Structure 1
């Protein structure tokens, strides 16, 4: 039994670290959402901030955009030239994706400084790409509403999860100490 544990030490460490970090961060985020009453920032601070920043980017590229509280659900409506285009919900704020990213990086952690810097840089990049993806989706839905399904179920996830995958591969191939050790088979 001991040799089996020794043989799969890195795999077991990865699974336990990933699972623990993911559970703790997800639970923290769950409680954040539970206690966000939406009184100041509707529906919660992060979702509101993403909606407002998307609004600013859309307006800066020439689309007359307004963001409003959705009257029937916890989301923000994206309205371009008086046309309701999309809604920004909690799942659009990239926090869940950043939690997944952080969990993976910590599971393959390197030295503390490098790991924290990569997490910070990667999280900012994911957040920024997420804003760009919301802008692209909004513009796409404005011009091609009949492509709603393709834009939201294919292009939208491809952009954000593709970015996370590339960051993970970069981390594993360039910085992770766990892969630099020879694996005995």
Structure 2
């Protein structure tokens, strides 16, 4: 009977191991920057968001709040949102990586992961920019956008990528 579940258990075990290893590595990374405020990757995301907003005609600047490990977005002469570690989408990317590598299919796994991570990063920068614009121009929709609309976009992107991986790569018959 256990023999019937062996493939499923193998996938589940790979997922859990990869997820935990990446999660602990990420936590180690975060702990090494605790005294410096926001970690370098989150700062990079914030700078990219600021660049995009400035390019789109939303004058933006960043202000450090090192003790609270955050960066404030100053958009159109007002502080609208703050960037904290959780906004960088690394936890979402770890979940994505774990799932895809659980269904490992050779070199195409690495290609798909790289392209998927790039897409998720772009979606996250667009998500944060969108949130800043909503908070700047339509503050009455800010909470709903932050709590429901924009998380649905980033998590929805992950689900779509997973479905593409499963349908077109992981479960595709190798002989056809």
User: Could you say which residue in structure 2 is the equivalent of 1:115?
Assistant: 109
Matches within 5 A, 1:15-26: 15-26=12-23
Once the two structures are TM-superposed, the CA of residue 137 in structure 1 deviates from its matched residue by 0.8
TM-score normalised per structure 1: 0.90
Tell me how large the CA RMSD over aligned residues is.
1.5
User: Could you say which residue in structure 2 is the equivalent of 1:162?
Assistant: 156
TM-score normalised per structure 2: 0.94
Residues 67, 38 of structure 1: alpha-carbon distance in 2 compared, 3 angstrom cutoff: farther
If each structure's helix is expressed as a fraction of its own residues, which one has the higher value?
2
User: Could you say which residue in structure 2 is the equivalent of 1:96?
Assistant: 91
- Count residues with an aligned counterpart: 174
Q: For the residues of structure 1 that align with 2:16 and 2:44, how far apart are their CA atoms?
A: 29
1:46 to 41, 45, 54: 41
Extract unaligned runs of 5+ from structure 2: none
2:75 to 71, 80, 92: 80
Report the secondary structure of 1:62's partner residue: coil
Matches within 5 A, 1:138-149: 138-149=132-143
Extract unaligned runs of 5+ from structure 1: none
Report the secondary structure of 1:43's partner residue: coil
Once the two structures are TM-superposed, the CA of residue 71 in structure 1 deviates from its matched residue by 5.8
Work out whether 1:174 is the aligned partner of 2:171.
no
Residues 73, 134 of structure 1: alpha-carbon distance in 2 compared, 3 angstrom cutoff: same
Asked whether the 8 Å contact 2:74–2:80 carries over to 1, the reply is: yes
Report the secondary structure of 2:38's partner residue: coil
Report the secondary structure of 2:157's partner residue: helix
Report the secondary structure of 1:8's partner residue: helix
Deviation larger for 98-107 or 147-156: 147-156
User: Could you say which residue in structure 2 is the equivalent of 1:35?
Assistant: 32
Q: For the residues of structure 1 that align with 2:16 and 2:136, how far apart are their CA atoms?
A: 40
User: Could you say which residue in structure 2 is the equivalent of 1:127?
Assistant: 121
Q: For the residues of structure 1 that align with 2:93 and 2:138, how far apart are their CA atoms?
A: 29
Report the secondary structure of 2:68's partner residue: coil
Which runs of structure 1 show a deviation greater than 4 angstroms over 4 or more consecutive aligned residues?
none
